[in-house]
Structure 1
Amino acid sequence: MATTNKPAKSTVTDPIGPELKQILRHLKLGKMLDTLPERLALAKQQHLGHADFLELVLADEHSRREAKSAQLRSRTAGLDPGMRLDTWDETAAVHYDRQLWNELTSLRFLDGPHGALVLGPVGVGKTHLASALGHIAIRRRRTVHASRADKLFKRLKAARLDNTLEAEMRRLAHVELLIIDDFALQGLDSVETTDFYELVVERHRKAATVVTSNREPAEWLAMMADPLLAQSAVDRLTSTAHELIVEGESYRQRQRPSHHNQPTDTGVFVDAKNGDHHAR
């Protein structure tokens, strides 16, 4: 009886033994297992010494932990995780002073300390730019708090009710970068005007504040209940702030869904390009 020689099955040997895996997990280094095989291959290819290989894998772990830490701190700071510098669309049809923007991303204004006003019409990306500065600051281990203006003032009003206003104002006064989004989108009553004044006074020349608004600072005065407090606060804020004007088309309008080949209520598709009707 003839016998056929079957080719031996190739087996892939796991370069990481079970004992090493267990040790790494006990030391809370289990995430190293995701990249360790390729690092072992790289070390073999480049003939890395023991010390160089150890530096390589520990650098990977350090990067992973820094990224996770930054993610957690960004969430605590109230930053949108999707509004970072690397997600900003440089091809967007908006115009602003690129030289000033590059200066702001260096965060040197935090050391002044100075601030920044990001001004422009609806939808041009003011919130994204301000949030991107917050993410950069987080990665550089600076303290950040970001909030929409109406939510910030609502929280301060609530703090009055449970007698935590002083603690809340102290926390906001000492954060290194405070981002107030959509300021003066709606009018400020007497309590909100007072809180804004107190916050600006406490942070003046002590910490950096970034404000986004659809209105010019001169228009803010009419939006606040007390003209004297408003003028005093706005004068302090603008006297130490860079002003970045963003102009152009609304990116929200550019993200509208296409009407091409949309179904009608009658079950007929209308080709928006040429107006032809097609049965569903």
Structure 2
Amino acid sequence: MKTLPSISPELKKVLKKLKLGPIIATLPDRMALAEMQKLSLEETLLLVLSDEIARRESSACARRAAKAGLDPDMTLERWDSSAKVRYDKRVLAELTSLRFIEASKNAVILGPVGVGKTFLASALGHIACRHGYNVIFTRADAMLRRLKQSRLDNSRDAVMTELSTIDLLVVDDFALEPMTRDESRDVYQLFVERSGRASTIVTSNRDTSEWLAAFDEVLLAQSAVDRFIHNAFDLVVEGESYRARLKPKVSDDDPPPSSPVEKKTLIGKRR
């Protein structure tokens, strides 16, 4: 077996000074490949630097997804296509194209408990992160608590600005329970300020016709909901519960380690 080319300490030092240290791990392989394929200096540089671009893009995507609060396991690649759920695949294909974000449109994912609404909404969030969009994923109740707290610490303007201007806001489990007067006004302001300017995905167990009852004020409800749903794609998911497929299982192919695993440092914080 041929020995891989070595990298001199001087070159390592220069790469680190240029903040290209991660290249060091793959450079010997790339140098060997360049020699084997008789690549020119320009072709070799392109190969090595393309690796670094791909690494940086991947790292940036991972940071965006973590900051967004997205579950790392809820990606479209991990969606079980054999699940006994029904939905319009044309609508999902349209949403995965992200044209709705480009056009500042919304999406409503409706269906009973457990059919995978949160999973699909999260998967769309991951796709958006991969393509450079900034995303916030939040449960509706957590978002409303955050806005309530912001009134107490005088940060409401900053919080509302963040929620109003983020490229894609994903609100999970909306309209599960009645909202107070302040909460109704917060949702109204959020829907109005994002309307035509940024995209929002909402998941709910309730049909949009039932959302009005969750608001404290009828006029605010009618205005907010009307603005939102008339600018939104509808993805209705029906069928058996998807959650059983997410249940942890013990596998013979993946035995437990001999000692307990150490706590991992998490990047970002789930909202």
Q: Which TM bucket (shorter chain)?
A: 0.7 to 0.9
Shift of 1:238: 0.5
Cα deviation code 1:194-234 (max 9, x no counterpart):
11111111111221111011111111122222222112211
Residues 177-216 of structure 1: pairs in structure 2 closer than 5 A: 177-216=168-207
Equivalent residue runs for 1:214-229 within 5 Å: 214-229=205-220
* Runs of 4+ residues deviating >6 angstroms: none
Q: Could you list the runs of 5+ residues in structure 2 that have no partner in the other structure?
A: 251-271
Q: How far does residue 147 in structure 1 lie from its aligned partner after superposition? A: 0.8
**Structure 2 CA distance, aligned partners of 1:158 and 1:51?**
56
Tell me the residue number matched to 2:77: 86
Superposition deviation, residue 108 in structure 1 = 0.7
- Which residue in 2 is equivalent to 1:140? 131
Give structure 1 stretches of 5+ with no counterpart: 1-9, 260-280
1:12 offset after TM fit, Å? 4.5
> In the aligned structure 1, how far is the partner of 2:206 from the partner of 2:184?
16
Name whichever of 81-90 and 97-106 sits farther off: 81-90
Question: How far is 1:256 from its partner?
Answer: 4.5
- Matching of residue 130 in structure 1 with residue 110 in structure 2: no
Residue matched to 2:269: none
Partner-residue secondary structure (3-state), 2:70: coil
Normalising by structure 2, report the TM-score.
0.85
What's the counterpart of residue 256 of structure 2?
A: none
TM-score between the two structures when normalised by the length of structure 1: 0.83
Q: Cα distance, 1:13 vs. partner? A: 6.1
Distance 1:253 1:164, change over 3 A: same
- Is residue 29 from structure 1 mapped to residue 20 from structure 2 by the alignment? yes
Number of the residue aligned with 1:103: 94
Return the letter of the residue paired with 2:39. L
| Match in the other structure for 2:141 | 150
2:30 counterpart residue number: 39
1:165 equivalent in alignment to 2:156 = yes
**SS in structure 1 opposite 2:22?**
helix
Tell me by how many angstroms 1:161 deviates: 0.8
| 2:4/2:28 contact within 8 Å kept | no
- Range with bigger deviation, 120-129 or 150-159: 120-129
C-alpha spacing 1:28/1:112, structure 2 compared with 1 (3 Å): closer
Tell me the CA shift for residue 63 of structure 1: 0.7
Which amino acid in structure 1 is aligned with residue 7 of structure 2? Answer: I
Which residue identity lines up with residue 153 of structure 1 in the other structure? L
1:131 is paired with a residue whose SS is helix
Sequence identity percentage: 51
Task: Name the aligned partner's letter for residue 117 of structure 1.
Answer: V
**Secondary structure of 1:35 counterpart:** helix
Q: Secondary structure at the match of 1:243?
A: strand
Task: Give the aligned CA root-mean-square deviation in angstroms.
Answer: 2.1
What is the alpha-carbon distance in structure 1 between the residues aligned to residue 100 and residue 184 of structure 2?
Answer: 26
Q: Which of the pair has more CA radius of gyration?
A: 1
CA distance in 1, matches of 2:244, 2:125: 25
How far apart, in 2, do the equivalents of 1:156 and 1:239 lie? 25
Q: Does 1:235 align with 2:226?
A: yes
* Kept in 1: contact 2:4–2:32 (CA 8 A): no
C-alpha distance in structure 2 between counterparts of 1:161 and 1:258, whole Å: 44
CA displacement at 1:87 relative to structure 2? 2.3
Task: Output the CA distance in 1 between the equivalents of 2:2 and 2:101.
Answer: 57
Separation in 1, partners of 2:2, 2:92? 55
2-structure distance, mates of 1:47, 1:97: 50
- Matched residues in 2 for 1:188 and 1:69: separation? 36
